[in-house]
Chains A and B, each alone.
Chain A
Amino acid sequence: MTEMSKIVRTITNIAFPLSMIFGFYVIAHGHLTPGGGFQGGAVVASACAMVLVAFGSKWTIGKIKEKRLSVLESLGAIGFIGLALLGLVFGIAFFHNFLVGSDYLFGIIPATGSGLADINTAGVLPLMNFAVGIKVIAGLFVIVLVMAYAATSYKEDKK
């Protein structure tokens, strides 16, 4: 698809970092407020799709190659299953939360009931949220990119 006018491109330049920061905020606070891996990943992927629509598919595919996104997706998935298997090695069961209660990374246990809680609580869950978020960003962006590329190349073949 072709690129849009200069007004749209300028506003996209302003709105894209704001959307990405909001998306990463939703991913990072998944264990305290509504959100988490998939929801935040979908927000960031919509921001990337906004860039695709505003700047045209040729420019975007020139900047981001599809193979790098595929490697990023695999890394996210391996991170998720690797954390689950680490629960088997360090702890006592598959998917066991081995970081809560310890004083390594995310180990503080907050008091029960309503109140404000810190962000370094809940053990393994924020790390799994990050892994799933990266995988969802890469996966959804690749789907939109390949569909736009398929539509463009079909129109060129038809001509």
Chain B
Amino acid sequence: MNIPEYTPALIVAIPLIGAFLTPLISRVHDKLRNIFVILVLVINASLVFLLAYDILKNGIQTYIFGARNLSYPIVRILFEVDAMSIFMAIISSIIVLVAVLYSWSFMKNNTGLDKYYTLILLLTAGILGMVMTGDMFNFFVFLEITSIASCALIAFWTSQAESVEAGFKYIVISAMGALFVLFAVAILYGQYDALNIAQLADVMQYTFLDKIALVLLIVALAMKAGLVPMHMWLPDSYGSAPSTISLVLVGATLASLYGVLRVVFTLYGNALSTIANFDVAVNVFIGWFIIALAILSIIVGVIMALIQTDFKRLIAFGAVAEIGYMFLGIGAGLAAAGTAYGNVALQGGIFHIFNDALDVGLLFLVAGAIYYATKERSLNSMGGLARNMKFTTVFFIIGLLAVAGMPPMNGFASKLLIYESTFQLNPILAIVAILCSILLLAMFVKVFYSAFMGPELPKFKKVKEVPKSMLFAMGILATIIVIFGLFPEIILNNIVQPAADALLGYSEYISQVVAGGI
């Protein structure tokens, strides 16, 4: 079919204009506003899927703002969408649509809901702009839009003291990280007089100032992605925000992870094979550094989750461990770039991004359902809920098996790829990863028994099942998890493998923009 060539611009423009129309529409009626927001997100998701079909058939698409053809020297802002970008855009569209469907009845009794929906649409525009842009300063602007909108959403329940404290910690750390990114972009601009990613990658010469910019970019973007030892904001923010916002924040965190990938593989792609410190190539050096921090993340995340009593903080520490698994796959793919098992490790890491967003998201929605029905947050005061909430129990079992990496859920496919490729790099890494996965399973089984099984408590006698829209939203996520657990080749061959190839083949990205490329 004939997809119009201005689709990348529409994917960012439609949530923006929807966000600015929402305060005007919500003065008319409340249900009209909910339907309008869901309609905007459905149109956006269908445009993303159309663009994905186009990219997987025809290659990289670019869109130039304000002109039809590119004239040199490059002064315009570009959107350059390749397979990795559209992969992250698919994840974000699914997550935000499920979150808005869930919040139809979860947030029904709150005031100030027009600001809530405006901020969610702004956050969607920020995430989609961050993953599709081809310009470094544009990436910084969308990064700041995302962090401001998500801070306002974390502190949405201002009557609770913990939410406001978590929001303040989040905005201070986010502002510091974004200012570091701006400093690095200024260093690169001062040296090469270009802001476009493809043009910078073409003329990159890896001088001493470029090394400083690389360190600043990796550290600041990994801090926004939640890598230990910079993860301090993650349990507070995920644990004190409303449950739908925790789900959308997972999407924002993964967009910062995409930033790390874009900087290391594409912007510094030419410099990755030069010999630098300690007589090893640069990619081996950075790869082992990321692997060390990733192993630390997995261990710290699992151990800190064992001692928690608050339900959502426990899931948040599980999310820290899962981000460690993603970085382990990416670091192994970087350290062993060029070999066969390096390619498999990179595919495992990228596939795990997709799986983790769905699994941890489903667990957060179950925690929200329990909070909606019983108003309890601590594990010490729950028990025997399986009698009254049958569907929620089934969804929790699906999420539990998926996070721990058990078949037939999709977590098993991606974790198996990570295990078998890191074993060939160094056996100790695979042993630590498998042990922590077993610890995660043990911990979530403990949570399941203490929350759902056991004798019926008298204060929960009148607890009913949650409303149908929340069950429908959780059902969408659970269905996707089970389908891609039974048939992982559908997504592995068609979406993940082109994404990994697009990351490793940076010269095609450069030659789309710069005439006569590498």
Chain A interfacial positions (CB closer than 8 Å to B)? 70-71, 74, 77-78, 81-82, 84-85, 87-88, 92-97
Count contacts between A and B, CB distance < 8 Å.
Answer: 43
Instruction: Give Cα A97 to B16, complex, Å.
Output: 20
With a cutoff of 8 Å between Cβ atoms, the chain A residues found around residue B20 in the complex are 74, 77-78, 81
* Contact assessment for A94 and B23 in the assembled complex, using a CB-CB cutoff below 8 Å: no
Judged by a CB distance under 8 angstroms, whether B75 is at the interface is no
Using a CB-CB cutoff of 8 Å, which residues 372-386 of chain B contact chain A? none
* Contact assessment for A88 and B68 in the assembled complex, using a CB-CB cutoff below 8 Å: no
Instruction: Give Cα A87 to B21, complex, Å.
Output: 19
With a cutoff of 8 Å between Cβ atoms, the chain B residues found around residue A71 in the complex are 23-24
**Interface SS, A side:** helix
Instruction: Give Cα A70 to B17, complex, Å.
Output: 16
New contact pairs (10) apart from A82-B17, A93-B9, A96-B67, CB-CB < 8 Å: A71-B24, A74-B20, A74-B23, A74-B24, A78-B20, A93-B63, A93-B65, A93-B68, A94-B6, A95-B65
Instruction: Give Cα A77 to B125, complex, Å.
Output: 15
With a cutoff of 8 Å between Cβ atoms, the chain A residues found around residue B13 in the complex are 81, 84-85, 94
Judged by a CB distance under 8 angstroms, whether B64 is at the interface is yes
Contacts A88-B6, A94-B9; is A74 near B21 (CB within 8 Å)?
yes
Instruction: Give Cα A78 to B20, complex, Å.
Output: 6
* Contact assessment for A88 and B9 in the assembled complex, using a CB-CB cutoff below 8 Å: yes
* Contact assessment for A78 and B17 in the assembled complex, using a CB-CB cutoff below 8 Å: yes
The 10 A-B pairs of least Cβ separation, nearest first, read A94-B9, A77-B20, A95-B66, A81-B17, A95-B65, A78-B20, A74-B23, A92-B68, A96-B66, A74-B24
* Contact assessment for B67 and A93 in the assembled complex, using a CB-CB cutoff below 8 Å: yes
Chain B interfacial positions (CB closer than 8 Å to A)? 6, 9, 13, 16-17, 20-21, 23-24, 63-68
* Contact assessment for A70 and B66 in the assembled complex, using a CB-CB cutoff below 8 Å: no
Chain B residue nearest in CB terms to A76: B20
8 contacts between A and B (CB under 8 A): A74-B20, A78-B20, A78-B21, A85-B13, A85-B17, A87-B66, A92-B68, A93-B63
* Contact assessment for B65 and A94 in the assembled complex, using a CB-CB cutoff below 8 Å: yes
Contacts A81-B13, A84-B13; is A93 near B23 (CB within 8 Å)?
no
Chain B residue nearest in CB terms to A70: B23
Instruction: Give Cα A148 to B387, complex, Å.
Output: 51
With a cutoff of 8 Å between Cβ atoms, the chain B residues found around residue A87 in the complex are 66
Q: Which of B16, B64, B66 is packed against the most chain A CB atoms within 10 Å? A: B66
* Contact assessment for B16 and A93 in the assembled complex, using a CB-CB cutoff below 8 Å: no
Chain A residue nearest in CB terms to B65: A95
Chain B residue nearest in CB terms to A75: B24
Q: Which of A71, A82, A85, A94 is packed against the most chain B CB atoms within 10 Å? A: A94
With a cutoff of 8 Å between Cβ atoms, the chain B residues found around residue A82 in the complex are 17
Chain B's nearest CB lies how many Å from the CB of A139? Answer: 12
Chain A residue nearest in CB terms to B23: A74
Chain B's nearest CB lies how many Å from the CB of A101? Answer: 14
Instruction: Give Cα A71 to B13, complex, Å.
Output: 20
With a cutoff of 8 Å between Cβ atoms, the chain A residues found around residue B65 in the complex are 93-95
Chain A's nearest CB lies how many Å from the CB of B112? Answer: 12
With a cutoff of 8 Å between Cβ atoms, the chain B residues found around residue A96 in the complex are 66-67
Chain A residue nearest in CB terms to B17: A81
With a cutoff of 8 Å between Cβ atoms, the chain B residues found around residue A97 in the complex are 66
With a cutoff of 8 Å between Cβ atoms, the chain A residues found around residue B68 in the complex are 92-93
Q: Which of A82, A84, A93, A96 is packed against the most chain B CB atoms within 10 Å? A: A93
* Contact assessment for B64 and A93 in the assembled complex, using a CB-CB cutoff below 8 Å: yes
Instruction: Give Cα A95 to B63, complex, Å.
Output: 12
With a cutoff of 8 Å between Cβ atoms, the chain B residues found around residue A95 in the complex are 65-66
Instruction: Give Cα A99 to B326, complex, Å.
Output: 49
Chain A's nearest CB lies how many Å from the CB of B511? Answer: 22
With a cutoff of 8 Å between Cβ atoms, the chain A residues found around residue B67 in the complex are 92-93, 96
Chain B residue nearest in CB terms to A97: B66
Instruction: Give Cα A93 to B4, complex, Å.
Output: 12
Chain B residue nearest in CB terms to A82: B17
